[in-house]
Amino acid sequence: MSGSYRMCGCFTRKFKVTKAGPPPDVMEAFHKFTDGGTHMSAEQLWRYLVEVQGDGGASISDAQKIVEQVLQQMHHIAKFTRHTLTLDDFHHYLFSADLNPPIGDQVHQDMTKPLSHYFIYTGHNSYLTGNQLSSNCSDVPIINSLKRGVRVIELDIWPNSTKDDVDVLHGRTLTSPVELIKCLKSIKEYAFSSSPYPVIITLEDHLTPGLQFKVAKMITETFGDMLFCPECECLEEFPSPEELKYRIIISTKPPKEYLKAKSGQSKGNKSQKDKDSDDDTWGKEPSDLMSDQEDGDTSDTDSSEDSESETQQLGVSAYKRLIAIHAGKPKGGLKEALKVDPHKVRRLSLSEQALEKATENRGTDLIRFTQKNVLRVYPKGTRFTSSNYKPLVGWTHGAQMVAFNMQGYGRALWLMHGMFRSNGRCGFVKKPDFLMNAGPHGEVFNHKTKLPVKKTLKVKVYMGDGWHLDFKKTHFDSYSPPDFYTRVGIAGVPSDVIMKRTKTIEDNWTPVWGEEFIFQLTVPELALLRIEVHEYDMSEKDDFAGQTCLPVSELRPGIRAVPLFDRKGEKLNSVRLLMHFEFV
């Protein structure tokens, strides 16, 4: 029950929706560009788009099309008797998330650089429907991820119960399996449903050489010409997203490394130090080792005898040929693992704790490594509920694959969604130049040094609408309209992080705030604008009423309609805010 509720002898429900008119800035713009008139022509709208909205590429015909769309939506006019907008029509246009969104929807970045130059939309345990311990494994979350634009799908592959086929499941847990072939077929069907750029399948491999051969056959037959197989055993440089359009890429630890790690040692007599050097387990807690052995731990599979056979050696070779991005690391700890080989590129995986630890004294080494190689970060094993970690730590150090549990939800996942709204939602976002450059003495970006303010962003929250259409009348309050407030802030490097909030507007389905906030940004290239709406509740926890995250580098200036999303990141049908963005 909200603070707007008052005790009295009888209860009356007051749910009337009062329509809010255009805010003063909208009226001022309309009168300015119509020279005080009552109708705005297509040419006047075009001037507004160019001068205020910063849309230098707009043409008069674009403006005419907008006028026609608005008249159709507002007045259902089929044969247009007029070709101008009233003030209400103009306000409707500005408040339309479809006609006037805050960011563009086209791929606009250079896509011809090597893969290591991009942040890549990456999933973790992509087959899980829920928690990490007991949920079902399925191809459905894989399909949902691909539809959202995720470009890296992780599959844990294990022998099935009869040891003659391959299942996908989270090992050493109660998760029920799904057949690998079903996952592969779904990846093929949905890989490019939202983006033409490559899909990378990272395999966490727990198979015998015989089953690896079966997987090689399965992958080859399923994907055919879509599969990218490099001509040489190890790439000197990764190809670009442009070169790899509509291709499937396999990444895992080459089988030779499994066999080498086993030679001369039995499973039972390995020391913990040896185990740690076989797996990507730096910085892990005991629970992580139990539930999250990444990148091809085969310590459960004693295949030393089987690997002797010629057939299995052929199988291992067939499997190895499919691996385009080699995973794994050399012996010798983190310092050795972060050394850059001028003749070979590879992928390295770190747990979130290992990354945190590495940033303390090896932050610049991480950035140098990621300028040429790929770094994957994954959640710690104690995240049983499929929660996620802070993605900015990885991005700030150049990590391309910040792997997330896409089936979870929460603020960390909202940031992930926000980052990959960039660049037309294609799943690849070009890393800022400062993460790819080195100075004359090899020095690289270090966010811990005090940086000057590079950009100032002014954000004005005018008003909100649509809750009465998307929510039941009693969803927020039982007896009166809701009391909304908006939180606005920045996620980014530590010095840029801040959250602010508007006042609470009581008893109103269409709140009008009219409040401006100023954010000074030292690293705007990595900044995300966080927006949340809540409904104030005096006696209980405030109710959630929508959220979005927007990449600051992609914000379109001017007055924009900002659509909001639910907790899981699904777009709400009608809820949106009217906001103004300005860089000064």
Catalytic residues: 124, 170
Distance in angstroms (rounded) separating the CA atoms of residues 212 and 206: 9
List the beta strands (DSSP E) in 427-567.
428-430, 455-465, 484-491, 498-501, 512-521, 528-535, 543-551, 558-565
483 Cβ neighbours under 8 A, 6+ residues apart: 2, 3, 4, 476, 477, 504, 505, 506, 507, 508, 535, 536
CA distance 157 to 351: 19
Helices of type H across 371-444: 391-396, 411-419, 433-436
Residues whose CB falls within 8 Å of the CB of residue 224, separated by 6 or more in sequence, listed in order: none
Distance of CA 480 to the CA centre of its chain: 37
For residue 422, give the amino acid letter. Answer: S
Long-range contact set of residues 357-362: C-beta below 8 Å, sequence gap at least 24? 357/282, 357/283, 358/282, 358/283, 358/334, 359/393, 359/397, 362/334, 362/335, 362/338
> Are the CB atoms for 267 and 302 separated by under 8 Å?
yes
By residue count, the chain amounts to 584
Please, are residues 454 and 505 in contact by the beta-carbon 8 Å criterion? no
Q: Could you please report the per-residue DSSP string of 186-244?
A: HHHHHTTSS-SS-EEEEEEE---HHHHHHHHHHHHHHHGGGB---SSSS-SSPPPTTTT
User: How far is the C-alpha of 57 from the C-alpha of 339, rounded, in Å?
Assistant: 45
Torsion region of 569: left, alpha or beta (phi above 0 gives left; psi -120 to 50 gives alpha): left
- The CA distance from 501 to 446, in Å, is 30
Query: In this structure, are residues 216 and 323 in contact, taking their beta carbons and an 8 Å threshold?
Result: no
- Sequence-distant (≥ 6) Cβ neighbours of residue 506 within 8 angstroms: 3, 4, 483
Measured CA to CA in angstroms, residue 156 lies from 207, 214, 272 at distances of: 10, 15, 23
End-to-end CA gap in the chain: 42
Partners of 571 in beta bridges? 565
Helix, strand, or coil here: 180? helix
Q: Who contacts 342 (Cβ-Cβ below 8 Å, separation ≥6)?
A: 236
3 state SS of 367:
helix
Residues with Cβ within 8 Å of residue 379, at least 6 apart in sequence: 124, 292, 351, 352, 387, 388, 389, 403, 404, 405
Distance, in Å, from the CA atom of 141 to the CA atom of 190, rounded to the nearest integer, reads 12
Separation CA 334–CA 546 (nearest Å): 41
Cα separation, 125 vs 404, in Å, equals 8
